[in-house]
Amino acid sequence: MVLELGACAVLAACSTPTSVSLFAGPLSGGFSTAQLTLPAGLRDDTVSTAPTLRSVPCGGGAPACPSVDGADQLVLECVAGVCDPAPKTLVAPLGDVIDLDESAGDLSSLLSSIDRIEVTQIDATIRTNTLTVDAEPIDVFWGPEGASSIDEMRHLATLPAIPAGANTIGDVVLDAGGVDGLSDHLVGTSRRARFFARTRIDLAPGGRYPEGAIELEVVVSIRATGTIAG
């Protein structure tokens, strides 16, 4: 994680409102189809072009869908006579904890008072994408440095869905409520925070068998507003 002072800090009198631009990132993270924990026997290699997800008959006298063990196992539901995997949510951390004071040389030494620290933009880049299935929109969450799960975090932004194998990504949409909450945290509680990403994979019987992984890099643009120190 790298934070850089932008060139937009305005040299002015102490009473003059000004701002400092910071860039947190790149924060790396990603998802792998290994997280799907598919039950054994669902891979079908009989199709010459690529492995597919086996269509296992169920209902109407056919055996029930394979049972699963453990909360993280992919659940199979009997839909239209075949065992259909329920959508699976995947979660991954984005980089390490960010520390604005440590990386910027202590914001209080730059601004005598800090009124707001806000995320102004998030840019995402796909480093690699070998997924054979589509990833639904990716949600970015923020939380205090001690947070270890999405349940302890607040939604910050949404990245658009990423097709299988795609290496470009569209615009990121910020969540105004999440931006305000993060600002309050950075100004009033701690200059330290961490980020997580969440997406969902929905598999279809007869479709491509899920393989591969996707790796992302996220850069968070931050603006601190206050008055010049000194």
**Cα 196 from Cα 157, distance rounded (Å):** 11
The domain in which residue 213 lies consists of 17-37+87-228
The answer on pLDDT for 6 being more than 60 is: no
pLDDT at position 230: 55
Both tokens of residue 194?
């961490």
The stretches of 42-191 forming alpha helices (DSSP H) are 100-104, 176-188
pLDDT at position 104: 65
In a domain, residue 80? The reply is no
Return the number of other C-beta atoms located less than 10 Å from residue 91's C-beta.
15
Which run of H or of E encompasses 144?
Answer: none
In a domain, residue 119? The reply is yes
Which residues partner with 182 through β-bridges? none
Q: What is the mean pLDDT of residues 10-14?
A: 43
In a domain, residue 51? The reply is no
pTM of the model: 0.82
Residues in the chain: 230
pLDDT at position 198: 94
In a domain, residue 78? The reply is no
Give me the CATH number covering residue 164: 2.60.120
The answer on pLDDT for 151 being more than 90 is: no
How many domains are there within the chain? 1
In a domain, residue 65? The reply is no
Residue 75 CB-half CA count within 13 A? 10
Strand ranges in the chain using DSSP code E only, listed in sequence order? 17-32, 43-44, 52-53, 76-79, 82-85, 88-99, 111-129, 138-143, 154-159, 173-174, 192-201, 213-228
pLDDT at position 111: 57
Residue 1 or residue 109, greater confidence: 109
In a domain, residue 154? The reply is yes
Q: Within its chain, how far is the Cα of 106 from the centroid? A: 27
In a domain, residue 70? The reply is no
The answer on pLDDT for 89 being more than 80 is: yes
Both tokens of residue 228?
């010049």
Note whether 207 and 6 are within 8 A (CB).
no
123-148: per-residue pLDDT in tens?
Answer: 999 999 999 999 999 999 999 988 88
In a domain, residue 123? The reply is yes
